Amino acid sequence: MERRDIRQQNRLSWNAVVGVHDSHRGDLVGFFRGGGNTLFPEERELLGDLEGKKLAHLLCNSGGDSISLAKLGAVVTGVDISDEAIRSARELSERTQTPVNFERADIYDWLASAAREERSFDIVFSSYGVVCWLPDLEAWATRIASLLNPGGRFVLVDFHPAADMFDENWNHVHGYPRGGEPLPLDEGVGDYVAVSKGGLTPAGFEDGVRNFENPEPAQLFQWGLGEVMTALSGAGMRITRLEEYPYSNGERHFARMRELPGRRMVPPEGVPAVPLMYGLLAVRS
């Protein structure tokens, strides 16, 4: 079940927090004009050559990565459920003079509409905090596959579900995520950009809004990595790469994380390595 009621409530929670996140992001316009790129090496490697490729960036948030994809040569359509995120993304596109087509839509509605209109793409891409917002993996995967040209690629980089087994102090307190089990967030989407202390702001960190409390609750959905891969392969895509990484790019999920070069976050000394992130490449036959 795709749970439209929950998705629309999640939209409200994102609308409330987008401006808060943007308040920390520094001079993104100057960063891009100076040749900067917000993508991490992991997604750039999986994406490969983008020159001239038609690319759909799903759950694009405020558009920084969409701008980066366009600057690498892709013809980009960015999609997000949040009105505020798309407003911010369009402004960034205009101010950086980087053409990107940003569309405000619920992801399931957009995928269904794009299929009806027979739109097609060479690449579909999503990253960082994607799967947890999906109540229906099968519908998501099937509709993505329908948009891809033959030989087209789907690239996903996301936080590893194994990391959700631990609390913020690295104690193993939860079972492995599975089945799309709901996870209510009464506190709503938080200000993880501020918490990450520069890890998510390559253009420089600004204090911005402080002590934010989101008035709109949200709800996540808990899926295992095997369930994601099964949904994609069941939709007719061939998974050609699966990478698991013992670090998290930018975001500080846990207490006392150490920052390595390239804004990679790893556990503190004395805490054994666990997979904190994964990346996969799926190809439509």
Statement: residue 2 has pLDDT above 80: no
pLDDT of 4 reads 86
Over residues 45-65, the mean pLDDT reads: 98
pTM given for the model: 0.97
Q: Spell out the alpha helix ranges (H) of 119-234.
A: 137-147, 192-195, 225-234
Q: Burial level of 74, CB count in 10 A (0-12/13-18/19+)?
A: buried
Closest to 278 (Cα-Cα) out of 232, 220, 236: 232
Q: Strand (E) positions, the chain?
A: 54-58, 75-80, 101-104, 121-127, 148-159, 181-185, 218-222, 237-245, 248-249, 258-260, 264-266, 277-284
What's the token pair of residue 241? 């790469």
Output 182 or 3, whichever has higher pLDDT: 182
Domain boundaries, the chain: 4-284
Residue of 197 and 87 predicted with greater confidence: 87
Class of domain 4-284: alpha beta
Average confidence (pLDDT) over 206-217: 97
Q: Render pLDDT for 165-208 as a digit per residue (tens, 0 to 9).
A: 999 999 999 999 999 999 999 999 999 999 998 999 999 999 99
Find out whether 214 and 17 touch, Cβ atoms under 8 Å: yes
| Cα angle 212, 213, 214; round to 5 | 115
Residue 3 pLDDT greater than 90, yes or no: no
Residue 257: name the closest of 206, 195, 205, 211 by CA: 195
pLDDT for the residue numbered 95: 97
Three-state DSSP at 6 gives helix
Please tell me the distance from the alpha carbon of residue 211 to that of residue 17, in angstroms, as a whole number. 12
- Residue 155 has a pLDDT of 98
Query: What value does the mean pLDDT take over residues 230-257?
Result: 96
Question: Which band of pLDDT confidence, cut at 50, 70 and 90, is reported for residue 236?
Answer: very high
- The predicted pLDDT at position 133 comes to 97
pLDDT greater than 70 at residue 1: no
DSSP 52-63: T-EEEEES-TTS
Which runs of consecutive H residues, i.e. helices, occur in 49-156?
A: 64-71, 83-96, 107-116, 137-147
